Structure 1
Amino acid sequence: MLRNLLALRQITQRTISSASRRQFENKVREKQKLFQEDNGIPVYLKGGIADALLYRATMLLTVGGTAYAIYQMAVASFPKKQD
């Protein structure tokens, strides 16, 4: 039992310590320049097409949800007719 635990400990230490690390390029300066640029575009749309699609989807869901909530309130405010 102890031998198995020691072997497991050794394997886990080996895989963690020998794992290759990916080198990522720091893109903070580029993003800062992009978002601080004064070009008349709102900051929530400066990320490109993905930001525009997310914004439109959010607005669509918000408007649709609001309309549905108002519809349900109108339906609930009138009692059903008794036969």
Structure 2
Amino acid sequence: MWRNVLALRQISQRTVSTASRRQYVNRVSENQKLFQEDNGLPVHLKGGAKDSLLYRTTTGLTVFGTVYALYYLLLSSMPKKPN
């Protein structure tokens, strides 16, 4: 039993560490300059091609879903013809 407790203690000490393995560069000021720049674009498209693609995909899926829901609403509101 003590062996399991000691093993658990060693594992917990290894996984919880305050030392960082990688140093990340703080790029907040670069992003602030990009998003505060007055270039006529809305803020959700200032990220570049990825943002534009994501926006168009989301808009397309939303329009498709709305049309699909309206189609099935119309289909379900029509009475079935008896044979």
Quote how far apart the aligned CAs of 1:7 are. Answer: 3.4
Quote how far apart the aligned CAs of 1:40 are. Answer: 0.3
Instruction: Tell me the C-alpha RMSD between the 2 structures.
Output: 1.8
Quote how far apart the aligned CAs of 1:10 are. Answer: 2.5
Aligned CA distance change for structure 1 residues 7 and 78 (closer, same or farther; 3 Å): closer
Structure 2 runs not aligned, ≥5 long: none
Aligned CA distance change for structure 1 residues 9 and 79 (closer, same or farther; 3 Å): same
- The runs of 4+ residues in structure 1 deviating greater than 4 Å are none
CA distance in 2, matches of 1:63, 1:44: 19
Percent sequence identity over aligned pairs: 65
Equivalence for 1:45:
45
Equivalence for 1:5:
5
Mean CA deviation greater in 9-18 or 22-31: 9-18
Give 1:37's aligned amino acid: E
Quote how far apart the aligned CAs of 1:3 are. Answer: 2.8
Q: Normalized against structure 2, the TM-score is what?
A: 0.87
Q: Normalized against structure 1, the TM-score is what?
A: 0.87
Aligned CA distance change for structure 1 residues 30 and 79 (closer, same or farther; 3 Å): same
Aligned residues: 83
Per-residue CA deviations over 1:46-75 (Å, capped at 9, x if unaligned) read 011110111011000010001011101110
Aligned CA distance change for structure 1 residues 73 and 17 (closer, same or farther; 3 Å): closer
Structure 1 runs not aligned, ≥5 long: none
